[in-house]
Amino acid sequence: MKNKGKEQAESKMFSRIKVGIYRRLDDRFEGFLGGSPQKLELHNRRKEALHEVFDTQKSVEALNLGKTEDTKSHEFVEIVLGAVAVPVFQYAWFRG
């Protein structure tokens, strides 16, 4: 999954949706303050989970991953999703 950018969106009919995603906040419950290795681990686990979802299916694509791929930990990232045009998506869903 890469940042597919404008050219990808223009080649297909997408409905764009911006989504904010938090990482797990386990480090807060364990009393870590400041920069801890656990924060980066949790950031990377979210990144792996997003890749697992969006690399394997075609009806929704991640057009922009924001700070998901960053080497620094972020509690919150915004990504831009592109869903295949609504009539095509509905047909595939109902057809099953």
Between CA 61 and CA 12 the distance in angstroms is 11
Q: What is the DSSP string of 68-88?
A: TT-SS--SEEEEEEEEE-HHH
Q: What is the pLDDT along the chain (96 residues), one digit of tens a residue?
A: 555 555 554 455 567 889 999 888 777 666 656 667 788 888 999 999 999 988 887 778 889 999 999 999 888 999 999 876 555 545 555 555
- Number of domains observed in the structure of the chain: 1
- Overall pTM > 0.75: no
Q: Where are the alpha helices (DSSP H) in 5-85?
A: 5-11, 26-29, 37-54
Q: How many CB atoms lie within 10 A of CB 67?
A: 15
pLDDT of residue 18: 92
Side chain identity, residue 96:
G
Domain that holds residue 42: 5-95
pLDDT of residue 9: 45
Q: What SS3 state is found at 50?
A: helix
